Chains A and B, each alone.
Chain A
Amino acid sequence: MSASKALQQALGAALPVMAGYVGIGIPCGIMESNIGLNALMAFAVSMTFYSGAGQFMISNLWMTGSPLVSIIASVSFVNTRQMLYSAAFSPYFEQARKRLTLLFAATVTDESFGVNLAKFQEGSWTPGRATLVNLLCMTTWGIANAAGVLLGNALSIPAAIAAFAMTSIFICLLAMQEMNRLNILVIAASAIAVCVFKSVGLSAPAILLGACCGVVLGMVCRKARRA
């Protein structure tokens, strides 16, 4: 299989994700310009940390005045779901070279995960092409973020509007979750817990503590239901 054929196949698989990343990377860059990142910083973050939800969270928490420790703890907590993706790919990378596996694993996202896993399950997919899909998506994300920062510097968006743009993103991500009984319970418990923590003056760790309450309650109810 020639290199250009491989690139062509990877591009075909990656294109829908790349289009989505342009659409969401530009608003993400606008938010990053609002918290004072320049285009180079946003590009660097996007090409390494590379997480839409994570990058929006950093901007959002910074704008609402969270202390650095609680920003880092909350974002890291949300990062842990990447372990699921990494685990799902491990059977397909048993034979792959270590360096390729590392590059692939470091560049998996929610969207490229879906595309690559479907391709692997179809059968005719290789670790090399899967990594190419990741790199194409990541580069698109990086460029869109940098472009968003430049655009954000040119525009001046009122803070309340910018803040609600981020709320809208989190609402959409929430609405896309599977709404089974346990998840609805977890969602309600997390939201109520956040309000309670904020009311008693624990604003800084409210997101992390609230989400932990939701997960713990979910685990307890899952156990109770199976017992």
Chain B
Amino acid sequence: MSTLDFLLVFGCCLVSMLICRCLPIFVLKGRDLPEGLQAALNFIPPAAFAALVANDLYSPGMFDAGLWPALLPFAASLVVVVVGKKSGSLIWCVVVGVLCYAVLSAL
């Protein structure tokens, strides 16, 4: 990432973050957000994380190199889901996920 690219991404993301973090606390003065907006904002984390996972696991032409190279990340992902559900710990998910991926790749 070049310094200019970094400053552009960092600057823009920071501005949008500060607006989202600071605006409601000043504007609302103790009132609630509109109900529809609250519902939409609550849908964003599941939608965004599902989109990120799908983006990582799926690519067009992923089966070109055969079935196993495409299914390997899915197999490791299933293990991560179980660890995530049981422990709720990001760090355990990373450790187990990476180990699982490395072992399955070596098979």
Contacts and interface: CB of A to CB of B under 8 A. Distances in A.
A198 B42 CA distance: 25
A77 B40 CA distance: 12
B33 A58 contact: no
Given A84-B42, A215-B43, A167 B53 contact: yes
B66 interface: no
Most buried by B among A68, A87, A219: A87
B90 to A, nearest CB: 5
Contacts of B26: 90, 98, 101, 105
A29 interface: no
A165 B46 contact: no
A57 B13 CA distance: 11
Interface residues of A, number: 92
B51 interface: yes
Contact of B58 (A75, A78, A79, A195): A195
A91 B30 contact: yes
A115 B29 CA distance: 21
B22 to A, nearest CB: 4
B9 A72 contact: yes
B98 to A, nearest CB: 5
A86 B17 CA distance: 11
B8 interface: yes
A99 B46 CA distance: 33
B93 A186 contact: no
A168 B57 CA distance: 11
Interface in A164-188: 164-177, 182-183, 186-188
A169 B23 CA distance: 29
Interface of A: 20, 23-24, 27, 35-37, 41, 44-45, 48-52, 54, 57-58, 60, 62, 64, 68, 71-72, 74-87, 89-91, 93-94, 98, 101-102, 104-106, 108, 160-161, 163-177, 182-183, 186-195, 198-199, 206-208, 210-212, 214-215, 218-219, 222
Q: 5 shortest A-B CB distances, which residue pairs? A: A168-B97, A175-B84, A214-B47, A172-B93, A76-B16
14 contacts: A23-B90, A75-B13, A77-B44, A80-B20, A83-B23, A84-B42, A102-B22, A167-B56, A171-B53, A174-B50, A175-B85, A186-B50, A190-B54, A207-B48
